[in-house]
Amino acid sequence: MVSTNNKQFRKEKNIIFVDASSFKGKYKIGLIDKTNKTKHTLALGSCTKDINEAEKYAVLYGLMYIAKRKGSDKYVLMNDCEGATEDKNLKLLGVSLNTKVMWIPREINKADKVAKNKVNKKKKIWKKLKFFMKILNIKKLYSGLDSQEYSPKLDNISKKSRSFYRFVEENISLFPIKNNLLAPLVIKDMKDNNIIYKKGDSSKVIKELCERGLLKKDGQNIFHKP
C-alpha cells in the first residue's frame, strides 16, 4: 500500500479519482477531476464478472480520460482497489501517460459517490472501454519465431501468418471472435512484432491458416482448431 500522508501527495494538482459500484449485479464506474470540475458516471455491460473487474475498468477509464487531455502534465490516478492499482498492464499504461496509478483507502476516494450517480456517459463509451481492455490484456508476441516450436504445417508460410497463429495460441480465451473485432487486434499484433501491415493482410492471413487446417472459419467467426 502507498501512504497518502506525504508532502508529494499533498502538492499534486492533477489528481483524478475513479471508483466502481455495484447494485443487484449491475456495475457502474465513476470519475472525478476536481481541478476541471468534471464528473463522469458510466454503466458497465452485463459481461462484467465482478466488482474487481469493474474496478479495473474504472482505472482504465481514468487513463483514457487522461490520454485525451493535452500537454505533458503529470497525473495521479487514485483508486481504492489494490487489485486494480497493482495490475501490471494498467500500471505500465500509466507510466506511458506520465501518470502514477495509486491506491488510497476507500473512505477518502472522492469518486465513491460519483460511481453511484445517474449515468451521464453514453453506452458507446462502454463498448470502446471493453475493446481497449481486450487489447491491453493481449501479451506481446515473439518477433523472431523458431520453426521448431511449431507444427510442420507452419513450414513455408508467411511470417505474418506465423505471428498471427502464435497470437491465437496465446489468446485462445478471445475466440471465437467476430472479424470486425479481430482485424484491429491483428494489426496491433503485427505492429508490436515490427511486421509491416498492409490493407487486406488480416484476411490473407486467415485464409492461409484455414487452408492449412490450422484455423477454421464459421460464418463471421474465427475458431482455433485444436
For the ranges 21-30, 86-95, 157-166, 194-203, the one whose mean pLDDT is highest: 21-30
Task: Find, among 226, 146, 142, 220, the residue nearest to 183 by Cα.
Answer: 220
Instruction: Locate 22 and state its grid cell.
Output: 455495484
- Concatenated DSSP letters of 39-67: EEEEEPPTT--SHHHHHHHHHHHHHHHHH
CA distances from 19 to 28, 105, 226 (A): 9, 11, 40
pLDDT recorded at residue 148? 39
Q: Which residues contact 205 (CB under 8 A, 6 or more apart)?
A: 158, 160, 161, 164, 186
Instruction: Locate 11 and state its grid cell.
Output: 502538492
Chain segment 48-89, per-residue pLDDT in tens: 999 999 999 999 999 999 988 866 688 999 999 999 999 988
CA distances from 201 to 65, 105, 155, 179, 207 (A): 32, 48, 19, 13, 10
pTM of the shown model: 0.61
pLDDT recorded at residue 70? 63
More confident residue, 215 or 174: 215
Instruction: Locate 110 and state its grid cell.
Output: 472522492
Chain segment 176-220, per-residue pLDDT in tens: 666 667 777 777 777 777 777 777 777 788 788 888 777 777 666
Chain segment 84-108, per-residue pLDDT in tens: 999 988 988 888 888 999 999 999 9
pLDDT recorded at residue 224? 63
Spatial separation of the C-alpha atoms in residues 41 and 117, rounded to whole Å: 7
pLDDT recorded at residue 10? 47
Chain segment 128-141, per-residue pLDDT in tens: 898 888 777 654 32
User: Is the pLDDT at 152 greater than 70, yes or no?
Assistant: no
What do you get for the CA distance between the two ends of the chain, in Å?
43
User: Is the pLDDT at 6 greater than 70, yes or no?
Assistant: no
pLDDT recorded at residue 12? 55
User: Is the pLDDT at 142 greater than 60, yes or no?
Assistant: no
Spatial separation of the C-alpha atoms in residues 18 and 187, rounded to whole Å: 31
- Residue 65: exposure state from Cβ atoms within 10 A (0-12, 13-18, ≥19): middle
CA 12 to chain centre: 26
Instruction: Locate 95 and state its grid cell.
Output: 507510466
Structural contact between residues 27 and 20, judged by C-beta atoms closer than 8 angstroms = yes
